[in-house]
Amino acid sequence: MTAPRACALILLCCIAPPVWSAYLPDSLFEPLYARLDNGMEVYLIPRNGVHSVSMRLAVGYGTLDEPCGRRELPHFLEHMLFTGTGAHSEEELDALISDNGGTWNAYTYDDSTVYEVDIFNANARTGLEVLHEIVASPSLAAEKAELTRDIIARENGGRPSALTSWLLRRGIGMDAWDQAQELLVNALYCREFSSAESIALDDVRSAYARWYVPGNMALFVAGDFTPAEMRAWIAGTFGGLPRAAAPAADRPDVAGLDARREVAGTLAPLLGTEAKVALAFRMPGTQERTGAFDTLLYEQLAEVLYNEIRTRRGLAYSADVEHYTNRDYGLLYAYADTELSTVDEVVAIMEEELARLRTDGVDAGRLETLKRRSLMKVAQYFQSNASFADYLATNWGSMVRNGEVWNVERAVAGVTAEGFGDYIRRHLDPERMVVVRHTPVLTYNQFYTIVLALVLVLAAAGGVWIWRRGGVRRRSE
């Protein structure tokens, strides 16, 4: 480093405010917390100056709470709650939300189901009452079950046939991504389609009675509202649900991968013109609170791969990192698209960059750059009440404990270069990774060549057959 650059860096460090006070107010992570008498948790985050209120009701029931073959049940139940209540039809409920400047939706995750309402702040009470109504008194009517079954089938791309189910159980037709996930999460992966076809209405009603209880719910409200009023509205709605504790979750343990593995698709995809490759790793779940490390790792690794594979060598259109996590485990994929002829080269580059990162880590200056970059993105994301409410709801049970919200800014600020290097070496272990080669069985050119060859062979065979038949007739004459 030259002397002027060194002086400039020192000056920057002296005049820049501490990274943990520059982006997000501490008050954002200090919600008004309450546990209702029935066991339900409530988190209020008043944010004045915007004409919106975002509500998220998280229910601790997701796809991994059901065994293989029945994992569509939480999703089925989520849809059924939108089909009407004892007091209103689905159309009437939708009008109550839409006519008051709002939207509503829901999502089923691995470990939870989250219902959401975003609405104009003056009509927040109406939004809360609709959210309470669909959760507290759904009709779960038989005539809506078949309609819901059809909707879910369309969402899933159709109903699986007996043949496709048989093939999947034997691993035939699994692409490389599915094979990698099976290796990384083992017992939690299902070689069985989870469709709504085998789910009876009694299953839906039993799941509702078991899981949709106050002790298994948390309500998050962020936006422009008066806390005292909101507390009173919540007490008058959700506070009236009968007390019930959360049921015990029963999930298999997720054993770690103990050796390097390489996977490619089994007859999937059949046709294509390019490949995708990845280095895949099992990562900690959200309960371990490693999100700060994960955020910084994404920033570093994504930039390195993009610069090396796309910018400098031109071997890919996209080279990036995808990180998925739930409360039990995380999955990280460092991936790139490439030509079929350069698959091995791209894999080698990715492994080289990973080895360099494991050996060298990042220095203190680079780490501060990563921190500022990630926190500026978080600060922009959290400007929206809906985004912050989503953050709270999807991390309920892991980042939220007894009214304390995990402060992402403080966590990121507390990461040291040494600790970051240790995290990289511990979790990005080349001896416990899966190399993913997502390549087609045939290119389109190969397919067309084979088809043309077959046509020519059939044509030649037909010509011989006709010639022979003609020769037989001439001899007989």
CB 21 within 8 A of CB 196: no
Q: Could you read off the pLDDT tens digit of each residue along the chain, which spans 477 residues?
A: 444 434 333 333 333 444 445 788 888 888 999 999 999 999 999 998 889 999 999 999 999 999 988 999 999 999 999 999 999 999 999 999 999 999 999 999 999 999 999 999 999 999 999 999 999 999 999 999 998 998 888 888 778 888 888 888 888 888 999 999 999 998 788 888 888 888 999 999 999 999 999 999 999 999 999 999 999 999 999 999 999 999 987 777 777 788 999 999 888 888 888 899 999 999 998 888 899 999 999 999 999 999 999 999 999 999 999 999 988 899 999 999 999 999 999 999 999 999 999 999 999 999 999 999 999 999 999 999 999 999 999 888 777 766 778 889 999 999 999 999 999 999 999 999 999 999 988 888 888 888 888 998 988 888 888 887 766 555 555
Residue 404, C-beta contacts closer than 8 angstroms, at least 6 positions apart: none
CB 333 within 8 A of CB 183: no
What is the signed CA dihedral for 132, 239, 401, 406, rounded to 10 degrees?
50
CB 405 within 8 A of CB 43: yes
Distance CA 58, CA 46 (A): 19
Distance CA 343, CA 443 (A): 14
Structure-token pair, residue 155: 């969402």
Structure-token pair, residue 449: 């060549």
Single pTM value for the model: 0.87
Distance CA 324, CA 209 (A): 30
Q: Can you state the percent helix, strand and coil of the chain, rounding each to 5?
A: 50, 20, 30
DSSP H or E stretch at residue 246: none
Match 């035939």 to its residue by tokens.
Answer: 172
Is the torsion defined by CA of 81, 87, 89, 94 positive or negative? negative
pLDDT at 173: 84
Backbone angles phi, psi at 206, to 5 degrees: -70, -40
Distance CA 199, CA 72 (A): 8
